[in-house]
Structure 1
Amino acid sequence: MSDNHWWFFDLAVVIAVTGTLTFGVFSGVDGITRIAVTIPLVLFLPGYALVSAMFPDKPNDNYQSFDEEKTGLGNPLLASGGLETIERLVLSVVFSVALVPATALIASATPRGLTLGMVLSGIALLTVALSLIAIGSRYRCPPEQRFVPRLSSEPLFFTQRQNAFRRTNPRPYNIALVVALILLVASGGFAVANSPEHDGFTEFSVDTEDVTGETDTMYESTYTAGQPNELQTTITNQENEERTYTTVVLLEQVSYEDDGVTVHETEELVRESTTVADGETHQQTLNVTPSMQGDEFRLTVLLYEGDPPSDPTTENAYRAINLPIELE
């Protein structure tokens, strides 16, 4: 079978490799394998698809003569419609370096934010879309001008050609290209291996009521001693890994002074643990039954990672919420 029957082969490979590598990343590979899988996705494949879409024709060395009577120029002009192999490879890397940050910027504007999954999904979809556009562009080219990936061997770098228009020694250019590509791949591998992660945090809140003109407090603030009440809390895990949390609710009798709050008596009302996956939100329904009587009370809702200490307080908790209440 001639090479002309394989004019779409390289783009079909790009689509297949993009899908395979993306699946490999999402399957949870790590270490050196993760770096090896990610580098082609971010440093070559998107740019190659874009270059193929922009330059569907093959290079040529045809020369056009000027009409001396109209232009006054006697020298011919080199008209090259396509790109050589080394030019395609270099531009593929350059365009990839430009496309990946643009994809990350778009991903950061989505509701899910800037995550590895969103960026890789965007890069994969963009690469496949550009590859399909490139296939269509090549198909519209005349067969004799269409770029066809050669099954036979061809020179990868610039070579010396014996004509009057190319007398520059290509060796320095080839050396510079090799050094630049090695540095780029090395820096890309380092960036993938040491991808920055934001510091972990946990969001902790008490569910509030709809605010209207008659709302005094945004939460249930009136309790009856000895009667159970429900307290709704929400935990959102952004710690980059699964975490186990324990929520402790204290009823505290306090007095408010100029220099702060003094706690006179404390009663633990409830203690409940739950496990929340990274990036997930969990809602807790806590049954609160206060038993003390008197004035100036507050509910102190404490959140701990793992098991809480025997004497839970605001100072030793990971998160703390103070809710002034009235006891009837």
Structure 2
Amino acid sequence: MKKYWDLITIIALSLLLDFLIFYYPESLARKALGLAFVLFFPGYVFITALFPKKKELDNLERLALSFGLSIAIVPLIGLGLNYTPWGIRLIPILVSLTVFNAIVGIIAIYRRAKAREPWIPWIDIEKLKEELEWDKASKLDKALTVILIIAIFSSIATLAYVITHPKPGEKFTEFYILGPNGKAADYPTELKVGEEGRVILGIANHEYRNVTYYVEVWLVNLTYDFETNTTHIYNMYLMDRFNVNLPHKPIDIEGNWTPQWETNYTFSIDKPGKWQLWFLLFKDGEPPLPEPINGDYAQTNATQRILDAIDGKILSLKLNIEVRKI
């Protein structure tokens, strides 16, 4: 076993990574191991299987080829998966690379067992100096070698940091309205006075923080003058208001879309005519409301809410509803 410690370790670490991805996907160990899994393991087992003898390659060549071949092998496996029913997704890529590391690793073990003078990696400072021809090198060559080694390790450290600390994606909130059957259709657009309408209101938080959302529901009678490019609000009634606190929900690009928060919202309108039902969404707080005039906010600065919603300054949803007399 000692003769094959490196190959057995790579196979074991590949299986360990599978476990970490499924049970501890956010762990630092998963991120660090995943870096080696993609950038080093495939090339190492492949080059060891091809050249099992000590005299065929020196240590530095094996190290360089391990990184280089990994960068070539992984995209080729991805290209092959692209033409399969599974596609280029996390699980198919993970399984394919794990199987590749295991099979080629076993072949490398077999080839090393049959070799007369097998190459077995072992850290030895004297051998490292011999590889670098340290004793024969000039001061300038030694300095350049040290700078090169520092640059290589710095690049690896920088790459590891970028991968393990990815920049947060775009911050946004999903705010949507569905018909009573859970589809973007069959909205209640024609009602009788006092008749109950029902929709499904949904919110999903992708803001990378906890957010308290405030929802206001407004019944509005307005017209738009295309000649003067102005909106005239004649009536504006507050139908409802509520709030909901939601944690951040990561975007799942692999699986099916699932809602974070939905509610069956019912409403009724007791005034005939053509109305717009506005759903306004505020984050972390809502602007103060003035006192209405006989229950109507049309003559107050609350109308700015609707104007901002029309201009896209506020997250909003709108239903056009015609209410007929009984």
User: Is residue 6–residue 149 contact of structure 1 (8 Å, CA) maintained in 2?
Assistant: no
Show the 5 A alignment for 1:100-139: 125=95, 127-139=97-109
Deviates more, 1:173-182 or 1:193-202: 173-182
Q: 2:52 aligns with which of 47, 58, 62?
A: 58
Give 1:263 deviation, angstroms: 1.5
Identity of aligned residues (%): 18
Show the 5 A alignment for 1:1-328: 5-18=1-14, 23=20, 26=24, 28-29=26-27, 34=28, 38-39=31-32, 41-43=34-36, 46-56=39-49, 57-61=51-55, 80=56, 83-96=57-70, 125=95, 127-141=97-111, 143-145=113-115, 147=118, 149-150=120-121, 153=124, 155-156=127-128, 159=131, 175=146, 178-192=149-163, 194-208=165-179, 219-258=187-226, 259-276=229-246, 277-279=248-250, 281=259, 282-293=261-272, 295-311=273-289, 313-314=305-306, 315=308, 318-328=314-324
Provide the secondary structure at the position in 2 that maps to 1:266: strand
User: Is residue 42–residue 100 contact of structure 1 (8 Å, CA) maintained in 2?
Assistant: no
Give 1:285 deviation, angstroms: 1.2
Q: How many residues align?
A: 280
Give 1:199 deviation, angstroms: 1.8
Provide the secondary structure at the position in 2 that maps to 1:59: coil
Q: Which residue of 1 aligns with 2:295?
A: none
User: Is residue 42–residue 73 contact of structure 2 (8 Å, CA) maintained in 1?
Assistant: no
Give 1:190 deviation, angstroms: 4.0
Cα distance in 2 for residues equivalent to 1:275 and 1:181:
47
User: Is residue 47–residue 93 contact of structure 1 (8 Å, CA) maintained in 2?
Assistant: yes
Letter in 2 for 1:285: N
TM-score normalised by length of structure 2: 0.67
Provide the secondary structure at the position in 2 that maps to 1:220: coil
Cα distance in 1 for residues equivalent to 2:160 and 2:132:
33
Cα distance in 2 for residues equivalent to 1:286 and 1:149:
69
Which stretches in structure 2 are left out of the alignment for 5+ residues? Answer: 251-257, 290-301
Which stretches in structure 1 are left out of the alignment for 5+ residues? Answer: 62-79, 162-166, 211-216
TM-score normalised by length of structure 1: 0.66
Q: CA separation of 1:253/1:142 partners in 2, compared to 1, >3 Å: closer, same or farther?
A: closer
Give 1:221 deviation, angstroms: 0.5
Report which of the two has the higher share of helix. Answer: 2
User: Is residue 245–residue 306 contact of structure 1 (8 Å, CA) maintained in 2?
Assistant: yes
Cα distance in 1 for residues equivalent to 2:41 and 2:314:
49
Letter in 1 for 2:276: R
Q: CA separation of 1:320/1:100 partners in 2, compared to 1, >3 Å: closer, same or farther?
A: farther
Give 1:28 deviation, angstroms: 4.1
